[in-house]
Structure 1
Amino acid sequence: MTYPPISEQLDDVETAREEGRRKMDWARQHMPILTALREEFEEHKPFEGQRVAMAMHVEAKTANLAETIADGGAEVAITGCNPLSTHDDVSAALDAHENVTSYAKRGVDDEEYYEAIEAVIAHEPTVTVDDGGDLVLRIHERHEDLIDGIIGGCEETTTGVHRLRAMDADGALDYPVFAVNDTPMKRLFDNVHGTGESSLANIAMTTNLSFAGKTVVVAGYGDCGRGVAKKASGQNAHVVVTEVDSRRALEAHMEGYEVLPMNEAAKKGDVFITTTGNRDVITAEDFEEMQDGVLLANAGHFDIEVNLDDLSDLATEVREVRDGVREYEMEDGRRLNVLAEGRLVNLAGPLALGHPVEVMDQSFGVQAVCVRELVAADTGGLGDRIAERIRERLGRSNTLAPAGSRNYEAGVHEVPDALDREVARIKLEAEGIAIDDLTDVQREYMDDWQHGT
């Protein structure tokens, strides 16, 4: 039996669609980048004939990205990339779009999760847009016959890029994928401000507790960890950072944070937030050192950063003490509280809304122009009007080579800098902010290595 779209799984689909559309419309009002791109895509239909498969966190902001691509002429099939991050009403509203089929549903088990991914793949995509790499991996494992028809893909998050780079290093990635996560417009805003703000906001809403005066342990000091640490410090918490990378540990130290191994930090922390993208960051030996009442939250991608098997083995009793809070009571009476089942706390909690709208507008703007770039490179060019608009945005010194001259081989690719700058220019324009351009003399000076003292 074919896995059904969300509209065939809900009892009152019309009410769900109305509520979902309301959420999407609110988000769209605050997404000027996607709004500008959607207007161009609606007029010129750059994705006509393309089939775009998406595995993302299906909520209002993501839905606007899906509709932006669909309004550009693509057939879009979408499902969730996390069993607890989908908003069913938004999924239903998205499924009502004539060019979109949504299979995303909240609370599915592992079997249903992969059935939905299979349903998306059954649309035989020409482009993939992924968050975490599950979609790309499934295609390579079970649908190699489709790979020749795939132009390329885009990967949204740190964990997904890590997985794809590992595939690429092993020679196992058979089509080009843009590392959207690694662009400045994604990394410097989404990872730092988005993860930092949304993680702390959802912990606070789920627990109704303050960070002020508490010790917050942040595992990992990459862009996401840096954002969490910065925002927690701004809410008057004492921040401890744990790291495995010497340079990042030194950076955290120089930023004024206490740096400790996790087993030492476990003795001091009130709140633990993992941001590593790795597994077994907090394990049995750490749980044994923790104080009564600690909060354990994950802001990485998968639910393996906090080792819940170890915690279950140590616990004498497990109970739900609050929506989104599972309490594990130890033999000595200490209670350790896991938020959002160890999944992404900013997206999987009962009140979670993900990153702020303005932040995701930037990230999804990069996604949209990357899909446009893949299609343009494959078909040999952009429409003249779109190309001229891009040139206007980029200014004289930041132009893309003609689309037909760009070729992306199988593997992970950095997003062309001009695309990232285009998205930044759209945002500045929307904010009414003007910046300087280099003069010809300045450009000549920067390009001439013979200039000296």
Structure 2
Amino acid sequence: MLLDVGGYFAPALEHLAARFSGRLLGVVEDTQNGHQRCQRLDKPPVPVYSVARSPLKDPEDYLVGQSVVFSTEALVRSRDDILNGRPACVIGYGKLGRSIAAMLHSRHVGVTVFDIDLVRRVQALSQGYRTAPALADALAGAGLVVCATGNMALREEDFGRVANGAYIASVTSSDDELELSALHDLSTPAPLSSRTSPATRAPATTSTSWPTAKRSTSCTARASAPTSCSSRPRSSPRPPELMSTSGLRFGLPRSR
């Protein structure tokens, strides 16, 4: 039996089933992200048992939401900033999104929720959160954006709506939530300033220097601790009056 956390074996499942023919009984998938990857398989060669949507995972998802906000706040504070007074946008109001919104609210952070599912937006509204009918509306005015969809929350065209100095966080793997190729085309990595303390610095950390570009920071927050954080510039500069103050960035709000 193969235990997968994130669906990383899904692309190679057919090869593994052939390699261990008669020995591989099936796959147990633990996460919603992995559940979606397994669903993309036309016909899995072995049974796939997903516990991602089991009620037994609800307590764990709630704790994961706590951990994500804790790690996010640690990154923000490591850059001499605080969450208070920084409006937040939560993209995705599933089990993790609900927990994250609740944790941010408990820290007196104003939360706007966007979900493509109208029923979930109504649920968020009934629980006291501001909701937006479109992603662009949700991003407008946000200084912190948390992606909790597991399915490409932000694409190239969305980054232009993210404000200078906002923070972007990905709950799941960043390549699943963010169109990273669009960011790579806009920046040139450079070593991050040593101002970040070693105790809080993520293992893989880079910053970007682009003289005329806006800056933003994107991070991946895991259940246990943040694993990566990179500061990236905005695309070509636009007049301030045309810039919406939104943000999916965890990091540097000002030039160094």
| 2:68 is aligned with 1:199 | yes
Shift of 1:131: 0.5
Instruction: After TM superposition, list the pairs within 5 Å mapping 1:241-256 onto structure 2.
Output: 241-256=113-128
Task: Summarize the Cα distance change of 1:329–1:239 in structure 2 as closer, same or farther, 3 Å threshold.
Answer: farther
Shift of 1:134: 1.8
Separation in 2 of the partners of 1:201 and 1:131?
22
Shift of 1:250: 1.7
Separation in 2 of the partners of 1:308 and 1:318?
17
8 A contact 1:262–1:282 mirrored in 2: no
Question: Where does residue 249 of structure 2 map in the other structure?
Answer: none
Separation in 1 of the partners of 2:227 and 2:50?
30
Report the residue type matching 2:226 in the other structure. G
Separation in 2 of the partners of 1:238 and 1:156?
31
Question: Where does residue 214 of structure 2 map in the other structure?
Answer: 334
Instruction: After TM superposition, list the pairs within 5 Å mapping 1:380-395 onto structure 2.
Output: none
8 A contact 2:167–2:218 mirrored in 1: yes
Separation in 2 of the partners of 1:237 and 1:329?
30
Question: Where does residue 24 of structure 2 map in the other structure?
Answer: 150
Shift of 1:295: 1.0
Separation in 1 of the partners of 2:10 and 2:163?
41
| 2:143 is aligned with 1:263 | no
| Deviations, residues 25-71 of structure 1 (Å, cap 9, x unaligned) | xxxxxxxxxxxxxxxxxxxxxxxxxxxxxxxxxxxxxxxxxxxxxxx
Question: How many residues of Structure 1 are paired with residues of Structure 2 in the alignment?
Answer: 217
| Deviations, residues 126-176 of structure 1 (Å, cap 9, x unaligned) | x11111122244231355242422222311100111222332xx2x21222
- From 43, 60, 72, give the equivalent of 1:190: 60
Shift of 1:327: 3.9
Task: Summarize the Cα distance change of 1:147–1:211 in structure 2 as closer, same or farther, 3 Å threshold.
Answer: farther
Query: Per residue, is there more helix in 1 or in 2?
Result: 1
| Deviations, residues 165-209 of structure 1 (Å, cap 9, x unaligned) | 332xx2x212223211111111x1112x22211111111222314
Query: What RMSD in Å do the two structures reach over aligned CA positions?
Result: 2.6
SS in 1 for 2:108: coil
Shift of 1:328: 4.4
Shift of 1:222: 0.7
Question: Where does residue 131 of structure 1 map in the other structure?
Answer: 5
Structure 1 length-normalised TM: 0.44
Question: Where does residue 173 of structure 1 map in the other structure?
Answer: 44
Separation in 2 of the partners of 1:245 and 1:190?
23
Task: Summarize the Cα distance change of 1:189–1:177 in structure 2 as closer, same or farther, 3 Å threshold.
Answer: same
Gaps spanning 5+ residues in structure 1: where? 1-126, 352-453
Report the residue type matching 1:140 in the other structure. E
Query: Per residue, is there more strand in 1 or in 2?
Result: 2
Separation in 2 of the partners of 1:265 and 1:294?
13
Report the residue type matching 2:2 in the other structure. T
Separation in 2 of the partners of 1:135 and 1:285?
30
Question: Where does residue 141 of structure 1 map in the other structure?
Answer: 15
Question: Where does residue 226 of structure 2 map in the other structure?
Answer: 349
Report the residue type matching 2:23 in the other structure. G
Shift of 1:257: 1.4
Separation in 1 of the partners of 2:209 and 2:121?
32
SS in 1 for 2:38: helix
SS in 2 for 1:290: coil
Gaps spanning 5+ residues in structure 2: where? 229-256
Report the residue type matching 1:175 in the other structure. V
Task: Summarize the Cα distance change of 1:293–1:302 in structure 2 as closer, same or farther, 3 Å threshold.
Answer: closer
8 A contact 2:83–2:109 mirrored in 1: yes
Report the residue type matching 1:160 in the other structure. G
